[in-house]
A and B are shown apart, each in its own frame.
Chain A
Amino acid sequence: MSTAEQPADEGAQVTKQRQVAFTAVGVKKHYPGVKALDGVDLEGYAGSVLGVCGANGAGKSTFAKLLAGVETLTEGEITIAGFPHPVRNAAEAEQAGVLMMHQEPLIIDDFTIGENVWLYKLREGKDIRPWAQKVDTNSAETRKVLQGVGLGQLSTRQLARDLGPGQRQMLSLSRAAVTKHKIMILDETTASTSEEHFNDILDLVDREKKAGTSIIFVSHRLNEVFAMCDRIAVLRNGKLIKVLDAAGTDADEITALMIGQALKALARPAPVQTAPDHLPVLSVRDLHGGRAHGVSFDVNPGEIVGLYGLVGSGRSSVARTVTGQRPAVSGEIKLHGQEVHLPTPTSAVSKRVAYLTEDRRLEGFVKDFDNGKNMSLVVLPRMARAGVVNSGAEKKRVRELIGEYQVKGGVNTYTRTLSGGNQQKVVVAKWLETDPDFVVLDEPTKGIDVGARANIYEIIHDVAARGKGVLVVSSEAEELLSLCHRILVMRNGQIVGEFDPDHADTDDLIRTALTHQD
């Protein structure tokens, strides 16, 4: 541990009679080539929420995994109050009362909602006699549990596969009400939920606090961290920098601690420079497809257009339809004034349209490919002659890209092993390398920390400054307000409002997305 950055637990001096729930001493976790955690001492208290913040690769998720016993620590010790010895694996952590809520909700698609609530109980299943007493997954209690996480309107008999990503996460959180635990870990749990569900999570955390649970909230979203946490621990490069009392600090201080220096205020994009006789890069008229019902809008050269809406408003359907990810049912799409037909992603790529998916793991990169192969995936035909790849040219180019986009890890590192921010940089590099005229980014900073976020914003501004058209889809109003030239708001598959970010605020967007009076 460096002496210059001696962690000082300011929070510890505030109240004295706190009950320790877990103690981590000198925790180290080394992966081949990476010191994910390098000597962290941290305590958690019953009935209190500890926020764990840090940039990409700071080690916050690693800490959560060690606490939950999912990963084994290299050095050090984590003891949990009331458990006789340090936990060695996930089963012991569970016995000790640790409940881990993962970033990806653990939901079984083919089980009903009720069965998913009681998943742990069903799993116990020690009594396998067919006539044994079963958990009633459709009981009034189950419905009450669901109401507690804002899913009261759903039937317990409905299949979980039909739920949206936010609802899945809430369903997974509902298990907190039916399991015995003393420590609850929320590892980036809000990454896939939008703002509408956050209040339900706050309620849940409140109930847990009253019940004396010690909660660890790992997150990138500082406003949520401040809304939820009592204490905030900041990690940087595997080291604990500081533990602060949430009441005595602010987002700027935390950000500065996270990245080791003060963050520049997010720059607004330069105003759009357009020739008087320009044609829009993209022009959409009366588009139908998926959840989009009659959508019309233009994106001009050099313009960054934001598309805001709640989950299910049709914003992703629009993004996917104009990029050929799903075929349009009807309507007209024009690129530079020429009507185009985009039935497949292949056709969109050939028309110089790029789509950066919201689901990086599924669609963003190839699981078994390294950074180099992932980055060259789309442009590979251009590095080939008669279908034979010029390996030298490919190697050289991806090496350059790694440097240009500051991707952590080399050409031969598997993309799946990188942090969210670095994965996104690989995906961005892969698509911008195709030199697209029109770029669609669906939730470009989902699961990405502040440092990488500023980096991604800058890249987007840069693309627009080169006269390309950009469409950014996001469920974060603030992000769009700082990033875009113009914001469209969707509700029920239609565009219901258009805002100039200089004359609008978060409330305007959310209100328009929720209810719209004609």
Chain B
Amino acid sequence: MTTTDTTLPPVHEYEEDTSRGQMIGSWLKGQYALYILVALLVVATITRGAIFWGPTNLTNLLLQMSIIGVVVLAELIVVLTGGIDISVGSALGLAAVIAAGLFGGPSVLLALVVAVVIGGIVGAVNGWLVAFRGLEPFIVTLGMLALARGLVYAYGNGIPITPAAASSFAAFGQTTFLGIPVLALIWLVMVAFIAFLLYRTVWGRRVYAIGSNKEAARSSGIPVKATLWSVYILAGLLVGLGGWMFLARFASGTSTAGNLMELEAIAAVVIGGAALSGGKGTVFGAVIGTIIFAVIANLLSLLNVSTFLQDAFRGALILVAVALATVQFTRRRKTDATQPAAK
């Protein structure tokens, strides 16, 4: 290509990349979730510091956030495509009860396979309807929410299902490695895995492209439907894994397993800075969102707040976070418009 000998208007000199300090500065400006978390930790330290930072409580905290953490990752990849999955909670419940009940629940490993397969099937059905039938993700997963929860109740007749190998499940759930619960380690491995997929692979780039601008993605030869389907399947697999982790933690599949988990998952993803319109969001943000909700629940119980009020607190937090996100938006627009470039 020889374009250098053309008579072009002088190209503006452009500062290639801003300095590292500026980059960190502008990054910090957008991290509202991080500030909420820090504030929460400060409150926790002041009010119940001794108990909160104690090893028992921290282990408990990690266990609490590991299951929802995996579900949040599933929600994140769906939200990145501009979709939403409100069936994650019921799908987790379904995976948990069937993994507990199928063949009587003889082994932890078999339960893992069953749970992941069940989750994968639910995700595949959701994804097929969304990607190839062009249906709204909200409606599809709303239907799936009711369907899966109904199956959960029908399967166990409302009675918790205890697998034959309940004791080995419980043992596994309490296993630690270097002092960290295995369940939390599974979560962290999944965090790294999803981050790798999103940031380092062609697939991840396509997910962001589809979420940001579906038409441009299609026009650029990206297989939009296949990619969308794969996203929902992967989300389903993660949710299935979450169901198995639930089983490992509580050693029984209750009919309320995963109840309302979709709300927490969506809230965590949004608090973490993801846009429900798609194309924007990070794994880091989603992890922070997960931790925030776990810390809040933990702190409220430490402060002896009634469980009913806890739900109200969680709802209030979502509203505050969303409001903060809009504050950030308008502030940025104002600075764009009024401040000179040089800083």
Instruction: Report chain A residues within 8 Å CB of B167.
Output: none
Instruction: Report chain B residues within 8 Å CB of A236.
Output: 9
Knowing A369-B209, A387-B203 are in contact, say whether A458-B3 is a contact too (CB < 8 A).
Answer: yes
Contact mask A389-432 → B, CB, 8 Å, 1/0? 10100000000000011101111110000000000000000101
Chain B: minimal CB distance from A235 (Å): 11
- Asked whether, in the complex, the Cβ of A404 is within 8 Å of the Cβ of B201, the reply is no
Say whether B331 faces chain A, with CB atoms less than 8 Å apart: no
Knowing A368-B212, A369-B212, A459-B1 are in contact, say whether A384-B219 is a contact too (CB < 8 A).
Answer: no
- Asked whether, in the complex, the Cβ of A366 is within 8 Å of the Cβ of B213, the reply is yes
Knowing A72-B337, A362-B216, A409-B14 are in contact, say whether A377-B222 is a contact too (CB < 8 A).
Answer: yes
What number of residue pairs across chains A and B have CB atoms under 8 A from each other?
145
Per the CB 8 Å criterion, the residue count for chain B at the interface is: 41
User: Which residue of A has the minimal Cβ distance to B8?
Assistant: A451
- Asked whether, in the complex, the Cβ of A31 is within 8 Å of the Cβ of B341, the reply is yes
CA distance A69 to B317 in the complex (A): 37
Q: Which has the most chain B C-beta neighbours within 10 Å: A362, A380, A391, A409?
A: A380
CA distance A193 to B192 in the complex (A): 50
Say whether A129 faces chain B, with CB atoms less than 8 Å apart: no
Instruction: Report chain B residues within 8 Å CB of A389.
Output: 200-202, 205
User: Which residue of A has the minimal Cβ distance to B12?
Assistant: A408
- Asked whether, in the complex, the Cβ of A348 is within 8 Å of the Cβ of B221, the reply is yes
Chain B: minimal CB distance from A219 (Å): 17
Say whether A97 faces chain B, with CB atoms less than 8 Å apart: no
Say whether B304 faces chain A, with CB atoms less than 8 Å apart: no
Instruction: Report chain B residues within 8 Å CB of A408.
Output: 11-12, 14
B6, B201, B215, B280: the one contacting A362 at CB < 8 Å is B215
CA distance A259 to B6 in the complex (A): 12
- Asked whether, in the complex, the Cβ of A346 is within 8 Å of the Cβ of B222, the reply is yes
- Asked whether, in the complex, the Cβ of B220 is within 8 Å of the Cβ of A430, the reply is yes
Contact mask A206-244 → B, CB, 8 Å, 1/0? 000000000000000000000000000000110000000
Knowing A325-B219, A404-B3 are in contact, say whether A366-B209 is a contact too (CB < 8 A).
Answer: yes
Question: In chain B, residues 209-232, which have Cβ atoms closer than 8 Å to a Cβ of chain A?
Answer: 209, 212-213, 215-223
Chain B: minimal CB distance from A444 (Å): 15
User: Which residue of A has the minimal Cβ distance to B201?
Assistant: A387
Contact mask A487-515 → B, CB, 8 Å, 1/0? 00000000000000000000000000000
B202, B205, B216, B221: the one contacting A364 at CB < 8 Å is B216
Knowing A259-B8, A349-B221, A362-B216 are in contact, say whether A32-B279 is a contact too (CB < 8 A).
Answer: no
Say whether B10 faces chain A, with CB atoms less than 8 Å apart: yes
Q: Which has the most chain A C-beta neighbours within 10 Å: B8, B9, B215, B222?
A: B9
Per the CB 8 Å criterion, the residue count for chain A at the interface is: 65
- Asked whether, in the complex, the Cβ of B14 is within 8 Å of the Cβ of A263, the reply is no
Contact mask A364-387 → B, CB, 8 Å, 1/0? 111111000100011011001001
- Asked whether, in the complex, the Cβ of B208 is within 8 Å of the Cβ of A368, the reply is yes
User: Which residue of B has the minimal Cβ distance to A429?
Assistant: B1
CA distance A349 to B341 in the complex (A): 41
- Asked whether, in the complex, the Cβ of A410 is within 8 Å of the Cβ of B16, the reply is yes
Instruction: Report chain A residues within 8 Å CB of B212.
Output: 366-369
Say whether A71 faces chain B, with CB atoms less than 8 Å apart: yes
- Asked whether, in the complex, the Cβ of A368 is within 8 Å of the Cβ of B17, the reply is no
- Asked whether, in the complex, the Cβ of A345 is within 8 Å of the Cβ of B12, the reply is no
Say whether A454 faces chain B, with CB atoms less than 8 Å apart: yes
Knowing A264-B7, A459-B3 are in contact, say whether A30-B279 is a contact too (CB < 8 A).
Answer: no
Chain A: minimal CB distance from B80 (Å): 11
CA distance A341 to B341 in the complex (A): 51
Say whether B338 faces chain A, with CB atoms less than 8 Å apart: yes
Say whether A34 faces chain B, with CB atoms less than 8 Å apart: yes
Contact mask A439-468 → B, CB, 8 Å, 1/0? 000000000000100110011001000000
- Asked whether, in the complex, the Cβ of A462 is within 8 Å of the Cβ of B1, the reply is yes
Say whether B2 faces chain A, with CB atoms less than 8 Å apart: yes
- Asked whether, in the complex, the Cβ of B205 is within 8 Å of the Cβ of A377, the reply is yes
Q: Which has the most chain A C-beta neighbours within 10 Å: B215, B217, B221?
A: B221
Say whether B179 faces chain A, with CB atoms less than 8 Å apart: no
Say whether A150 faces chain B, with CB atoms less than 8 Å apart: no
Instruction: Report chain A residues within 8 Å CB of B1.
Output: 404-405, 432, 459, 462
- Asked whether, in the complex, the Cβ of B202 is within 8 Å of the Cβ of A263, the reply is no
CA distance A35 to B12 in the complex (A): 10
Q: Which has the most chain B C-beta neighbours within 10 Å: A32, A260, A413, A451?
A: A32
- Asked whether, in the complex, the Cβ of B3 is within 8 Å of the Cβ of A405, the reply is yes
Knowing A377-B205, A377-B209, A406-B8 are in contact, say whether A33-B340 is a contact too (CB < 8 A).
Answer: no
CA distance A474 to B15 in the complex (A): 36
Instruction: Report chain B residues within 8 Å CB of A480.
Output: none
User: Which residue of A has the minimal Cβ distance to B13?
Assistant: A408
Contact mask B129-152 → A, CB, 8 Å, 1/0? 000000000000000000000000
Knowing A32-B336, A237-B12, A410-B14 are in contact, say whether A261-B7 is a contact too (CB < 8 A).
Answer: yes
Instruction: Report chain A residues within 8 Å CB of B14.
Output: 33, 408-410, 413
- Asked whether, in the complex, the Cβ of A263 is within 8 Å of the Cβ of B7, the reply is yes
Say whether A112 faces chain B, with CB atoms less than 8 Å apart: no
CA distance A469 to B38 in the complex (A): 60
Chain B: minimal CB distance from A380 (Å): 5
Knowing A345-B221, A369-B208 are in contact, say whether A363-B3 is a contact too (CB < 8 A).
Answer: no
Say whether A273 faces chain B, with CB atoms less than 8 Å apart: no
Contact mask B166-205 → A, CB, 8 Å, 1/0? 0000000000000000000000000000000000111101
- Asked whether, in the complex, the Cβ of B216 is within 8 Å of the Cβ of A366, the reply is yes
Chain A: minimal CB distance from B2 (Å): 7
**Beyond known contacts A344-B221, A410-B17, A451-B8: 20 more, CB 8 A cutoff:** A32-B341, A34-B12, A56-B9, A236-B9, A260-B10, A262-B7, A346-B223, A365-B216, A366-B209, A366-B213, A367-B279, A368-B212, A369-B212, A388-B202, A405-B3, A406-B11, A410-B14, A462-B1, A462-B2, A462-B3
Top 10 A-B pairs ranked by shortest CB distance? A349-B221, A368-B212, A363-B219, A368-B279, A366-B213, A451-B9, A345-B221, A259-B9, A72-B337, A55-B9
> What are 9 A-B interface contacts by the 8 Å CB criterion?
A35-B341, A260-B10, A364-B219, A365-B213, A377-B205, A377-B209, A387-B201, A389-B200, A458-B3
B-binding residues in A (CB < 8 A): 30-35, 55-57, 71-72, 74, 236-237, 258-264, 325, 344-346, 348-350, 355, 357, 362-369, 373, 377-378, 380-381, 384, 387-389, 391, 404-406, 408-413, 430, 432, 451, 454-455, 458-459, 462
